[in-house]
Amino acid sequence: MATIGPDDIDLGLDTFGDVTLDAAGERVSDADTIRNVVDQAVLADQVGLSFFGVGEHHRHEFAISSPEIVLAAAAARTDSIHLGTAVTVLSSDDPVRVYERFATLDAVSRGRAEVILGRGSFIESFPLFGYDLRDYEALFDEKLDLFSQLLTERPVTWQGSMRAPLTDANVFPKTENGLKAWVGVGGTPESVVRAARYGYGLMLAIIGGPAARFRPYVDLYHRSLDSFGRDQLPIGVHSPGHIAATDQQAWDEAYAGFESMNNTIGRERGWPPYSRMRFQHDVGPEGALYVGSPETVARKIATTVRTLGANRFDMKFSTGTLSHDKMMRSIELFGTEVQPLVRDLLG
C-alpha cells in the first residue's frame, strides 16, 4: 500500500442535521435546523474543505429526510466543495430515482455531486416506505447491483426479485463526467467485498473503538479489488468529532450532545447510560471521537490516515444538542487550522 502524503488526503464534514438547542435551551425548529445546515456547508466551502455530506434519517432527532434538496440549496451558494450524502439508504429507496436525483444535483453543482450508499443503521425508513426488514440484506444487494448498471449511463436491461424488471431503460439526466459513488461500511467483511465487487469507493463508518481495528477490512478491500480485476479505489473514514480552542473546551462543549444522542439511541438498543468516563475514553487514542484542540484532532486524524491508508477523512461535526454557533466555530477551525496541520504531519 502506498504511503499517504499531504497531497493524497481530502478532509470533509458530515452532518445528520441533528436538531439542536438554542441559547435559551429551547429546541430549534426543523426548518431553522435545515437552514443552519446550508449555512454550515457554505462555511465549509469558504474554509477550503473538500466535501460536505448530509445524512438521511426519518426520526425526530434529525431534521433532514431529503438530503438532495438541502445539498442543491448548498450548491447554489458554494463554489468548490463536493456535496453528497452520509448516507443514502438505498435499501428503502428506488435506485432509478436515486440516480436521477444525484445526476440532477451533479448538474446544479457543476460536477460536484457524490453519493455514499448504505443500508442504514436506523430502520425507520423500512416500514415508512413499505419494506420488510426481513429483506434487509437482499434489498441492498439487489438495489446496489441495479444502481451500478445505472452509473454506466447506458440503457439498462435488468431483472431482480424485489422490483419490476427493466428493459433497455434509458434514465435521465446524463451527467457531464459521471457520478462518484461510495458504499458506506460499518465493519462486516461481506459489505467490504460487495463494495469491491461493484467498484465503489469504501467509506468506513468508524464510530467506536480504535481505527486500527479496521485495517483488516482495508486489506480485504485491496485483495478483493485485485481479485475482481479492478483498479485501486479510494478509501474514506467517517467518524464523529468537535473542535475548539483547547481540549478541555472541546470536551466540555461536546459532551452534552454525545450524552444526549447516545442515551436516546441506547434506550432503544439496550446500551448502558453514557458517562463522562466513557466519553473521555472515546476521545483518547483508543476511541473513535475526534474531539479536542486543532492540534489534538489533527494528530489523531493523521494517525488514522496513515494506519488505514485512507484518502479522505470526514468528521461528523454535529452530535445531538450541540449548538449551531459552536458547530460553526468547529468548522472554521477544521478548515483553517486542522487541515494544514494534518498535511504538515503527513509530510
The answer to whether the CB of 112 falls within 8 A of the CB of 83 is yes
b (16+ CB within 10 A) / e for 224-251 = bbeeeeeeebebbbbbbbbbbeebebbb
pTM to 2 decimal places = 0.96
d(CA 180, CA 283): 32
Domains, the chain, with CATH or none: 13-319+329-346 (3.20.20.30)
Look at residue 2 in the predicted model and tell me its pLDDT: 63
How far are the Cα atoms of 64, 83, 93, 208, 257 from residue 21, in angstroms, in the given order?
16, 26, 31, 25, 10
- Single out the residue of 72, 87, 73, 78 nearest to residue 35, CA to CA: 73
For residue 284, how many other CB atoms are within 10 A of its CB? 13
The answer to whether the CB of 113 falls within 8 A of the CB of 106 is yes
Look at residue 130 in the predicted model and tell me its pLDDT: 93
Look at residue 1 in the predicted model and tell me its pLDDT: 54
What would the pLDDT profile of 55-91 be if each residue is shown by its tens digit? Answer: 999 999 999 999 999 999 999 999 999 999 999 999 9
Tens-digit pLDDT profile for the chain (347 aa)?
568 888 889 999 999 999 999 888 899 999 999 999 999 999 999 999 999 999 999 999 999 999 999 999 999 999 999 999 999 999 999 999 999 999 999 999 999 999 999 987 788 999 999 999 899 899 999 999 999 999 999 999 999 999 999 999 999 999 999 999 999 999 899 999 999 999 999 999 999 999 999 999 999 999 999 999 999 999 999 999 999 999 999 999 999 999 999 998 889 889 999 999 999 999 999 999 999 999 999 999 999 999 999 999 999 999 999 999 999 999 999 999 999 999 999 99
SS3 letters across 96-116: HHHHHHHHHHHHHCCCCEEEE
Look at residue 305 in the predicted model and tell me its pLDDT: 97
Look at residue 50 in the predicted model and tell me its pLDDT: 98
